[in-house]
Chain A
Amino acid sequence: MAVSGLLGTVLLAAAGAFVVFAIVLVYRIVAGPTMQDRVIAVNGIGTNVVVVLALLAAALERPGYLDIALVYGMLNFLMSIAISKFTVERGGVI
C-alpha cells in the first residue's frame, strides 16, 4: 500500500532529501566550534527526522508513523531545553 504516481515519487524524494540534509548537518556537529553549535545541529537533525517520518507516513499510507513523529518532536524539544538549562546552571560542564 503506497501512494503511486508522481505524488508518491515526490513524497519519497522529499523524504530522501531531508535525510541528506540531516547527514550534512553532522558536519556542524563534528566541526563545532562551541557546544551550543552542536546542540543547534542536533536539534535541526531531530526536526528533519520528524519531517521524514511525516512524509513516509503520507507516502506509505501508514498513519501510525505520525504518533512516532509526535513523540520524537516532543523529546527533541525537551533535549534542547534541558541542555540549555543545564549548561547555564552548571557553568558549561558538558
Chain B
Amino acid sequence: MAVTEWLAIALVVAGTFFGFVAVVGIVRLPDLYTRAHATSKSDTLGIILTLSGAALVFGADLAVAKTAVLGLFLFVTNPTAAHAITRAAYDQGIAPWTTEGDE
C-alpha cells in the first residue's frame, strides 16, 4: 500500500481513540461542566483527526475541499456550542462540582 493509505489508517485510528476518550468523559465525569470539557476538546480532536484521514482517502478531488470545510466548521462550532450550553447552565445557577463538601 501507498504511504498515504497508511497515514489515513493511522489518522482514523487515532481519531477513533479520541472519540472513545470523549465518550468515556461524557459518561463518567461528575457534572455538566466537566462533561462539556470532554466533548469540546477530546471530541473536536477526534473529529479533526478522523476527517483528515477521510480526506486522504479521496485523493485530489472536490471531496477533499468539502471534508476540509467540514472539519474547519466543526472545529469552530463544537467548542462554541459547548460554551453556549455551559454558559446558559451557569446563568441558571447550576453550581459546578467541587470536592469541598466531600470531606
Contacts and interface: CB of A to CB of B under 8 A. Distances in A.
B70 A43 contact: no
B85 A40 contact: yes
Interface residues of B, number: 51
Contacts, number: 151
Q: Size class of A's contact patch?
A: 35 or more
Interface of A is mostly: helix
A44 B35 CA distance: 11
Given A5-B1, A37-B32, A67-B66, A47 B74 contact: yes
Interface string B55-83: 10110011100110110011001101110
Interface of B: 1, 5, 8-9, 12-13, 15-16, 19-20, 22-23, 26-27, 32, 35-36, 39, 43, 46-47, 50-51, 53-55, 57-58, 61-63, 66-67, 69-70, 73-74, 77-78, 80-82, 84-89, 91-92, 94
